[in-house]
């Protein structure tokens, strides 16, 4: 049976158990369609639909692009695909990654907010960093309902904490109370459309980008002003966006980042660069020593000594790089906050 009740669960680290608990509390006659995004490896086959079916009473599947939305069904994001909705239909796409993930929570929530407005209910569960915050902000801005798992009981509280910091949350609940809330909301009339939505054009553009529309043609440059930062995925210029107090970035090819996920990605790439530098210097040391040995065999002792001297100088530089890479940290709001609390 078709439905306009669109309910969404987004989770990351620690999310499987949380999803199973919520799904396990939903009745067989649940009067809404449920959409689930869990951060997954793009290279492995997902058995999440099977696990969610076993946990509860509702059928679950990876949907086919364009499939009709039905009440009482769980639609699970396939690996390496965003899960999206348009009016009456499920969409899957390999649009640009958001917050370093595909599937990501933000594109699903944003597409539902655009298509269904007050009929959309977004729920953020346990997870690291802050995927889902921008999407939940859009759900709330369009008159939908914003729900988070109580961070105090979340295995990884960062995702619900971030949503709580930037979104006017309607319900902050322990896992055991989320399913009963969804059942109640599915039987209640949605809020009325409010009229003017100042971020509606931005919402449309970002939804089109997630649907694999070309970012240029979708109007990406209308989203914000160029920033001094470059995209870690494609090295294009990042545009700076702001929704309320939430700072975000999107590049001209479509990749999107929160400020927090951008920091984590950039500092992680610094470590990769340091390791590559260390490898390159050590290779040069080995090559110079090999050449010195070859020159000695050819009785060119003076040149061989100069090669060995340069190799020794390079070896000393490797120690500096090694110390830098071992002291390097992948940073985020959470790691910095943790260090602040512990001095």
Does the pLDDT at position 31 exceed 70? yes
Segment 145-190, tens digit of pLDDT: 999 999 999 999 999 999 999 999 999 999 999 999 999 999 988 7
Rounded to an integer, the average pLDDT of 38-61 is: 92
Closest CA to 235 of 213, 265, 195, 210: 265
Rounded to an integer, the average pLDDT of 284-298 is: 90
User: Tokens 């949907």 belong to which residue?
Assistant: 63
What pTM, to 2 d.p., does this model score? Answer: 0.85
When pLDDT is cut at 50, 70 and 90, the band that residue 14 belongs to is very high
Does the pLDDT at position 332 exceed 70? no
Is 70 or 274 the better-scoring residue by pLDDT?
70
Ranges of each domain in the chain: 6-186, 261-341
User: Which helix H or strand E contains 210, and what residues bound it?
Assistant: helix 200-210
Mean pLDDT, all residues of the chain: 91
> In whole angstroms, what is the distance from residue 182 CA to residue 173 CA?
12
**Cβ atoms within 10 A of the Cβ of 99, count?**
27
Catalytic residue IDs = 12, 39, 131
Rounded to an integer, the average pLDDT of 260-276 is: 85
pLDDT at res. 79? 94
Q: Are 98 and 249 in contact (CB under 8 A)?
A: no
Least confident segment among 64-68, 119-123, 305-309: 305-309
Q: From residue 25, how far is each of 42, 52, 54, 57, 124 by CA, in Å?
A: 29, 11, 12, 9, 17
Q: Are 176 and 21 in contact (CB under 8 A)?
A: yes
State the helix-helix crossing angle for 333-341 and 158-166, rounded to 10 degrees. 100
When pLDDT is cut at 50, 70 and 90, the band that residue 334 belongs to is low
pLDDT at res. 215? 84
Question: Would you state the CATH architecture of domain 6-186?
Answer: 3-Layer(aba) Sandwich (3.40)
Q: Are 185 and 120 in contact (CB under 8 A)?
A: no
> In whole angstroms, what is the distance from residue 115 CA to residue 84 CA?
10
pLDDT at res. 199? 83
Q: Are 28 and 58 in contact (CB under 8 A)?
A: yes
């Amino acid at each position: 049976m078709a439905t306009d009740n669109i309910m969404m669960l987004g989770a990351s680290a620690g999310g499987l158990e949380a999803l199973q608990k919520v799904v396990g509390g939903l009745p067989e006659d649940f009067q809404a369609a449920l959409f689930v995004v869990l951060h997954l490896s793009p290279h492995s086959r997902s058995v999440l639909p099977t696990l969610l079916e076993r946990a509860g009473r509702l059928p679950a599947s990876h949907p086919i692009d364009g499939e009709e939305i039905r009440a009482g069904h769980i639609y699970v994001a396939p690996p390496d695909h965003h899960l999206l909705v348009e009016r009456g239909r499920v969409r899957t796409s390999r649009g640009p990654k958001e917050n370093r993930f595909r599937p990501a929570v933000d594109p699903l929530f944003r597409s539902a907010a655009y298509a269904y407005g007050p009929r959309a209910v977004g729920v953020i569960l346990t997870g690291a960093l802050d995927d889902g915050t921008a999407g939940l902000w859009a759900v709330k801005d369009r008159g939908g309902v914003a729900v988070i798992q109580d961070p105090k009981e979340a295995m990884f509280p960062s995702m619900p904490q971030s949503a709580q910091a930037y979104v006017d949350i309607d319900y902050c609940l322990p896992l055991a109370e989320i399913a009963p809330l969804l059942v109640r909301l599915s039987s209640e009339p949605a809020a009325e459309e409010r009229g003017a939505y100042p971020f509606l054009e931005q919402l449309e553009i970002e939804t089109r980008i997630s649907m694999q529309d070309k970012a240029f043609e979708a109007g990406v440059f209308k989203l914000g002003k160029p920033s001094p930062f470059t995209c870690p995925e494609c090295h294009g210029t990042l545009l700076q966006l702001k929704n309320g107090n939430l700072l975000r970035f999107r590049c001209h090819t479509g990749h999107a980042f929160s400020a927090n996920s951008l920091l984590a990605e950039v500092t992680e790439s610094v470590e990769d660069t340091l390791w590559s530098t260390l490898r390159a210097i050590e290779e040069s040391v080995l090559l110079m020593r090999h050449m010195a040995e070859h020159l000695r065999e050819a009785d060119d002792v003076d040149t061989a000594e100069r090669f060995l001297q340069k190799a020794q100088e390079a070896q000393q530089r490797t120690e500096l790089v090694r110390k830098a890479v071992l002291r390097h940290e992948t940073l985020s709001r959470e790691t910095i906050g943790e260090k602040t609390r512990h001095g």
